[in-house]
Amino acid sequence: MNNSALITITDLVKRFPMGKREFTALSNINLTFNGGEFAGIIGPSGSGKTTLLNIIGSLDVPTEGKAVVLDNSVGNLNTRQSADLRNQYLGFIFQTYNLLAVYTVFENVELPLLLLKMAASERRKLVNQSLEWVGLTDKVNSRPAQLSGGECQRVSIARAMVKEPKIVLADEPTANLDAKNSHHILQTMEKLNADLGTTFIFATHDEKVIQYLKRKISLEDGQVVADEVKG
């Protein structure tokens, strides 16, 4: 069973220094994610969703316990190794899109490929394919400022997907979007999950997102209070 797990989190505790004392953001977390999941970490503001997602994304390290992502123990990686892990297997989607304003849609999506030794023609193929998945092939040469919020978030999905990562981590991806666009991008991600088998893990408290999730992990004050798989 553990062999097929993408992510295994064991007895994880995360504390932040707060002046002289410490603040416990996460405690006693035990979770396993398998390939192809469409899961969400849900809970009120300050419950530790982003903190947990950051550790899974090897942007932060556990204080105690272990988080093993694709056979890499996040706490034991040096910065180079954690960069490699993100580079090869992880995609990120942010609430604020974080597209680079001076680059075109094409160049934004191409960015993750630039770190690989890959021919320009190969990159072009992958970027176009990724933009096709999110339905933005007609905007390749636009700049982010010329796009709507929904379109921006679709570009950032294309950027996260261009290397066909094993896992996509999305922190509040709909927080800046209206209902119509929220549904649109969730349907896009749902389809990618079904077609490509990519694992999606959300951190959210948005009802619109929650209704799409196949698994809901509820956090409260840094503890898992529920972990339900949809019917």
Ligand X SMILES: Nc1ncnc2c1ncn2[C@@H]1O[C@H](COP(=O)(O)OP(=O)(O)OP(=O)(O)O)[C@@H](O)[C@H]1O
Query: Cβ closer to another protein: 98 or 211?
Result: 98
SS (H, E, C) 54-82: HHHCCCCCCCEEEEEECCEEHHHCCHHHH
Please give the backbone phi and psi of residue 136, each rounded to the nearest 5 degrees, phi first: -125, 25
Contact between 96 and another protein (CB under 8 A)? yes
Any alpha helices (H) in the chain, and if so which ranges?
Answer: 49-56, 79-89, 105-114, 120-133, 149-161, 179-196, 207-210
Helix axes 105-114, 149-161, angle to 10 degrees: 20
Query: Cβ closer to ligand X: 51 or 156?
Result: 51
Count of Cβ atoms closer than 10 Å to residue 226 Cβ: 11
Q: Which stretch binds another protein (CB under 8 A): 31-39, 67-75, 107-115, 209-217?
A: 107-115
Query: Cβ closer to ligand X: 157 or 219?
Result: 219
Q: Which stretch binds ligand X (CB under 6 A): 17-25, 81-89, 126-134, 185-193?
A: 17-25
CB contact at 8 A, 19 and 196: no
Contact between 141 and another protein (CB under 8 A)? no
Name the binder of 166 from Mg ion, ligand X, another protein, none, CB < 5-8 A by kind.
Answer: none
CA–CA distance, 122 with 127 (Å, rounded to integer): 9
Contact between 131 and another protein (CB under 8 A)? no
Query: Cβ closer to ligand X: 39 or 113?
Result: 39
Count of Cβ atoms closer than 10 Å to residue 73 Cβ: 15
* From candidates 30, 115, 122, 132, binder to another protein by CB under 8 A: 115
Query: Cβ closer to another protein: 31 or 93?
Result: 93
CB contact at 8 A, 159 and 108: yes
Closest residue to bound Mg ion by CB: 50
CA–CA distance, 47 with 200 (Å, rounded to integer): 20
Query: Cβ closer to ligand X: 133 or 202?
Result: 202
Name the binder of 83 from another protein, Mg ion, ligand X, none, CB < 5-8 A by kind.
Answer: another protein
Name the binder of 74 from another protein, ligand X, Mg ion, none, CB < 5-8 A by kind.
Answer: none
* From candidates 28, 88, 146, 148, binder to another protein by CB under 8 A: 88
